[in-house]
Structure 1
Amino acid sequence: MYIQSIIVADDDSDDRLFLEDVLHEVAPSKSVTSVKDGQELLSLFNHFVPDFLFLDLEMPRKNGLECLKEIRNNPTTKELPIVVFSSTNREYNIDVAYEMGAHLFLSKPNSYDDLKLAMQTILSFDWSNPAAITKQYCVNGTYLPFTVNKTEE
């Protein structure tokens, strides 16, 4: 699957811009659209379905889990590759996000370089079979967040 269009759904404008900047740097040929809450995201799907979605969990009007439920119940969006992009690292949130249909869970990195490495890695995965990616992050029945293994210099 070739990714041409990406949506970033995050209510935190700094986090949204941070991710947009990194995506424009690591994937300049891809179209990136941003929305600030879950309701805006779901409304956008009425006339545009992207190839890929980065979804924050904590958003107003409709949170990420509510969005996941609606996306997975909609025939038009049910196969959409989704990476939950959240500042939480709580095991419960990670498990629930995967169980509700996220293909990957990324804890928001603190540095630009870490986020850049994460985006390069995530976008290099073979998203033609998102379930295979998810399966790699389930170990002994426990879901794990995606992390970048950056070598210290």
Structure 2
Amino acid sequence: MTIKNLIVFLAEDDEDDRWLFEQALENIKIKTELSMFKNGKELMDFLKKPDSIQPHIVFLDLNMPIKNGMECLKEMKQHDNLKSIPVAIYSTSSSEKDIENTFVNGANIYINKPNKFSALKKVIEKVLQLNWQYQTSNLNKENFLFRI
């Protein structure tokens, strides 16, 4: 029996943050295939292609040029083929307004970008281990904001 890799998408405009995320994924025990996008438009263009591979989860930065994370989230949740994909907001913002808006618009979890590599590995691993069917059925404000 072959173990299927988790398909992970990251939409992040900061090159250093993309590199750190990739390094963290390579340093955890979960087998993944990572696709990275430099902005929300790249992500949405790819996701909307009729033959595109659908990810198991999308990590979405909020503050990106061209199309920001909130615009992507809203667009994904309104699109029949995309609305069931779990979305983890991955942002430096700890604004209550951002957290509330992403929750209301259907994000599955909100992660403040950790400033230590060890914490980044830990948070990514924990998020990837979640059973998203269970997680989405019990979604509430208390388990939405993910802290390490």
Structure-2-length-normalised TM-score: 0.89
Mapping of residues 55-66 of structure 1, within 5 Å: 55-66=60-71
Q: CA distance change for structure 1 residues 114 and 133 in 2, over 3 Å: closer, same or farther?
A: farther
**Corresponding residue of 2:43:** 41
Matched ranges for 1:35-114 at <5 A? 35-45=37-47, 46=49, 47-114=52-119
1:8-30: CA deviation from partner (whole Å, max 9, x where unpaired):
10001111111111112215521
Structure 2 gaps, min length 5? none
User: Is 2:119 the partner of 1:117?
Assistant: no
Q: Is 1:146 the equivalent of 2:146?
A: yes
Structure 1, unmatched stretches of 5+, are 149-153
Report the AA paired with residue 96 of structure 2. Answer: E
Q: Which residue of structure 2 lines up, in the alignment, with residue 128 of structure 1?
A: 133
**Greater alpha carbon shift after TM alignment, 115-124 vs 82-91:** 115-124
Return the TM-score normalized by structure 1: 0.86
- State the distance in 2 between where 1:130 and 1:110 align: 26
**2:8–2:57 contact (8 Å) kept in structure 1:** yes
Task: Kindly indicate whether the alpha-carbon contact (under 8 Å) linking 2:5 and 2:33 is maintained by their aligned counterparts in 1.
Answer: no
Q: Is the contact between residue 86 and residue 106 of structure 1 (CA under 8 Å) also seen in structure 2?
A: yes
Between the aligned partners of 1:147 and 1:9, the Cα distance in structure 2 is: 20
In structure 1, distance between residues paired with 2:64 and 2:135 = 24
Q: Using the alignment, how far apart are the partners of 1:91 and 1:103 within structure 2?
A: 16
SS in 1 for 2:64: coil
Question: Which whole-Å CA distance do the structure 2 matches of 1:147 and 1:133 have between them?
Answer: 18
Structure 1 residues 113 and 33 mapped into 2: Cα distance closer, same or farther (>3 Å)?
A: same
Aligned residue type for 2:79: N
Moved over 6 A (4+): none
Distance 2:29 2:44 in 1: 24
| One-letter amino acid of the counterpart of residue 145, structure 1 | L
Quote the sequence identity (%). Answer: 30
What secondary structure is seen at the aligned counterpart in 2 of 1:75? coil
- State how many pairs are aligned: 142
CA-based RMSD: 1.7
